[in-house]
Amino acid sequence: MDQTIKRRWLLSAATAITGGAVLGSVGGSNQAAVALGDGSVVDPSGGIIRTPPERFATLPDYPFETHFASVKLGGASGARVRMHYLDERPADPAKASGETILLLHGNPSWSYLYRHVVPLLVEAGHRCVAVDLVGFGKSDKLTDRFAYTSQRHVDWLAEAVFEYLDLRDVTMVCHDWGGMLGLRLLAREPSRFRRIVASNFGLAEGGRDLGPGWAYLAQWQQLTQRTEQLRASQVIENFTTSGLRPAVRRGYDAPFPDDPSLHGFRRFAVLIPITADDEANPAIRQTWDVLETLRTPFLCVFSDQDHVFHGDHSGLSARIPGAQGQPHVVIKDAAHFVQEDQPSEFAAAVNDFIERTR
């Protein structure tokens, strides 16, 4: 990747994250154990916290019904965590297309990112399932930041999508970290997927020589670990062309009332594979073993003003057989969070792809 592009992205990230805040150590949680309306009790001392539901009470343009899947936390505790998801479909069954779309977000967003996209997909007759990753949105958060690993994220997704929801013949729409995890999910059971739509991400092993780019990546990682007033809305707004209204900024900050709730956000920054012995490298190689023989239709929908890729999807489209000959889309006047900047164009690209490959 061109080092000027990487430098611009990481320096912009630094500005977005700090927002003028002073770097310093992060604090602990002051949350106490709480009894919830569903009869469950969440105790931070047990490693799981749950964002108070009133944080989500007045979000603009997010009228969707709430659903939860229970998945194994992992490790020896036997604990389970809740993963939130939307499950929207046409009100009139006669208008249903029979298509199911799985939408995966990245860092530091949640299913709120798709709030303007989902209605347009449902209007076309499609069922839409949008999952909040553990640590994000209305899903449970973990008090131990080191409990977040890329392998666990894939395991949690697999249990929710394959076992709890048992989704099949899926069109997966994945963005940012949702793409890096989503392709690993696909590699486990490729037969469940009918199409893939990939947006603004790559899938590379650690250990590749990016020259001075590593210094800027290290800066990004340090900032996310040490910035006291870390706000998802500042990052997201800085990576849009349209900006965010105050109410929308509150929507992106809603999942993160205190520092422990931000552990998933902070952790993703240091889970980016950078070294040749990164623990994620074997799984990434195994994923590429599947992708390089994958003939499932694969469409890239990138954006021209993304700070990292600038519309260059060749890292995916040039290597995946199912991507050959597809009319890949680069949406104009959109930055990294293309669903914020151009939701109608994004939804149209997905709907057109489904219609063309049915």
Return d(Cα 272, Cα 121) in angstroms, integer. 31
Six-digit token string for 115:
């709030």
User: Cβ distance 149 to 142 under 8 Å?
Assistant: no
Six-digit token string for 8:
């611009």
In this structure, the strands spanning 80-88 and 100-104 are unpaired
User: Cβ distance 142 to 264 under 8 Å?
Assistant: yes
* Degrees, nearest 5: CA angle 105-254-170: 25
Say which amino acid occupies 290.
V
How far out from the chain centre does Cα 186 lie?
15
How far out from the chain centre does Cα 343 lie?
16
Residues classed as catalytic: 176, 306, 336
- Which of the 8 DSSP states describes residue 82? E
